[in-house]
Structure 1
Amino acid sequence: MKNKIKIVLVDDHLVVRAGFKMLLAAGDSVEVIGEAERGEQAIQLYQELQPDMLVMDLSMPGIGGLETIRRIIQRDSEARILVFSVHHEQVYVSRALAAGARGYITKNSAPGILAEAIAAIMSGQQYVERGLVKSGGEERQHAGHQTIIAGFSPREFDVFSLLAQGLTVHKIADQLCLGHKTVANYATQIKKKLQVDTTTELAHIAVNLGMTAR
């Protein structure tokens, strides 16, 4: 009998993880051997269980999905990580792949896409859901801001994303487990780089780049 693909699911919502398991259970080639709701737990489980693949969200408390990917790849450059996220915007796809993820699909994708992505990654391919990588006028229109944001450090990008979602410095500090002054300094640096004065202007840039809802 063919060995099953061993997977660890990472998402901070129990209901979402249950949905993942239902999708994966539809076939007989995958076995969920562990679950985590935070990045720190995912790293620990990866080291303990040595799964064939992590299927994980980007948005979660603690160090967050992108930093989780980076830390796992630092420990194991061959790690197979598939991002399964609500975010469909180009910038998230690019950051996840740059961090080391092997694939990226969205939570509203067709059920078969998850199994297709897992199979592709296990065979050594990269898998990005069709339609997520954009080109043309929309990207060129905001090329300046896009280039600046692409140059952000990992932590700057995390802080920028949360500021754009309307979180206060104190809430961001709690979520990222950083000091309030540290987050405030990041916010100042980000505004300076983007040449804006307010968080509202930051949010407007994020909206224009398709990073958050209007």
Structure 2
Amino acid sequence: MIRLVIADDHTIMREGLKRILSSAENIEVVGEALNGFEVLAKVREGGFDLLLLDLSMPGRSGVELIRQIKSEAPKLPILVLTMHEEEQYAVRTIRAGARGYLTKESAGTQLLSAIEKVASGRPYISAEVAEQLAMEIMEPHDILPHDRLSNREFEVFNLLVHGKSLTEIADFLHLSVKTISTHKTRMLQKMNMHSLAELVQYAVGKNMINTPQH
């Protein structure tokens, strides 16, 4: 039996996932978390075999949250289930310690097999992400502007280009507006850009814009 915790701040999504998982005799949902703080509480409490984790939740989230989970529970398998399709996010999560990456669009058909594979100790990633990881290991590649960003800066970048204000991002990540503003300034410097419009134009050009998150 695979005991699983679902971490997602959307009630409809959690209920939908539980309906999908109810058809599996070897999977039991033993807990839910609505934000990063609840995720860490569940991890510290233990008693489950796999964490099904949304990347975009209030409070600590994304790659930073994965890193903290792995520092506290190195052996806990994490399957990321997210709306982010961009391969760069997938590579960052795998580097941080996630064992699998699945888009919510694919969840209906691939979720059960992804959970079983990750729970058994094997990775679950797309062929495109696997190829990108292999390319990074095998040969040098050109550093793209967004590759220069830290994980937190990349998270702020993603929220900015999806139309979130500094205040909204600060509330969402439980950080001060000043901290988010500093991240934005550093981001523009690292990417050699001067405005939010340039960031958005860049994100559109790299197919990094998808449907609004929240």
Q: TM-score range by the shorter chain?
A: 0.7 to 0.9
Aligned-partner Cα distance in 2 for 1:171–1:107 = 24
Residue 36 in structure 1 maps to residue 33 in structure 2: yes
Q: Identity percentage over the alignment?
A: 37
| SS of alignment partner, residue 159 of structure 2 | helix
Query: Residue 55 of structure 1 contacts residue 82 of structure 1 at CA under 8 Å; is this kept in 2?
Result: yes
Q: CA deviation at 1:154?
A: 2.0
Q: 1:68 to 1:175 in 2, by over 3 A?
A: same
Q: Provide runs of 4+ in structure 1 moved above 4 Å.
A: 130-135
1:189 corresponds in structure 2 to 186
| SS of alignment partner, residue 106 of structure 2 | coil
Query: Residue 188 of structure 2 contacts residue 194 of structure 2 at CA under 8 Å; is this kept in 1?
Result: yes
- Residue 50 of structure 1, aligned match among 40, 44, 47: 47
User: Which residues of structure 1 form unaligned runs of 5+?
Assistant: 136-141
- Residue 163 of structure 1, aligned match among 147, 160, 164: 160
Q: CA deviation at 1:131?
A: 4.9
Count, aligned residues: 203
2:88 corresponds in structure 1 to 91
- The residue type paired with residue 19 of structure 1 is G
Q: CA deviation at 1:101?
A: 0.5
Aligned-partner Cα distance in 1 for 2:204–2:131 = 16
Query: Residue 40 of structure 1 contacts residue 68 of structure 1 at CA under 8 Å; is this kept in 2?
Result: no
User: Which residues of structure 2 form unaligned runs of 5+?
Assistant: 133-140
- The residue type paired with residue 5 of structure 1 is I
Q: CA deviation at 1:66?
A: 2.2
2:200 corresponds in structure 1 to 203
Please give the per-residue CA displacement for 1:127-146, whole angstroms capped at 9, x wherever unaligned.
Answer: 113555566xxxxxx9543x
Query: Residue 148 of structure 2 contacts residue 190 of structure 2 at CA under 8 Å; is this kept in 1?
Result: no
Q: CA deviation at 1:172?
A: 1.3
Query: Residue 81 of structure 1 contacts residue 102 of structure 1 at CA under 8 Å; is this kept in 2?
Result: yes
- The residue type paired with residue 164 of structure 1 is V
Please give the per-residue CA displacement for 1:20-79, whole angstroms capped at 9, x wherever unaligned.
Answer: 111111110000000011011011012113310001111111112322211100112111
- The residue type paired with residue 169 of structure 1 is L
Residue 26 in structure 1 maps to residue 23 in structure 2: yes
**TM-score, length-scaled by structure 2:** 0.88
Q: CA deviation at 1:151?
A: 3.3
Query: Residue 207 of structure 1 contacts residue 213 of structure 1 at CA under 8 Å; is this kept in 2?
Result: no
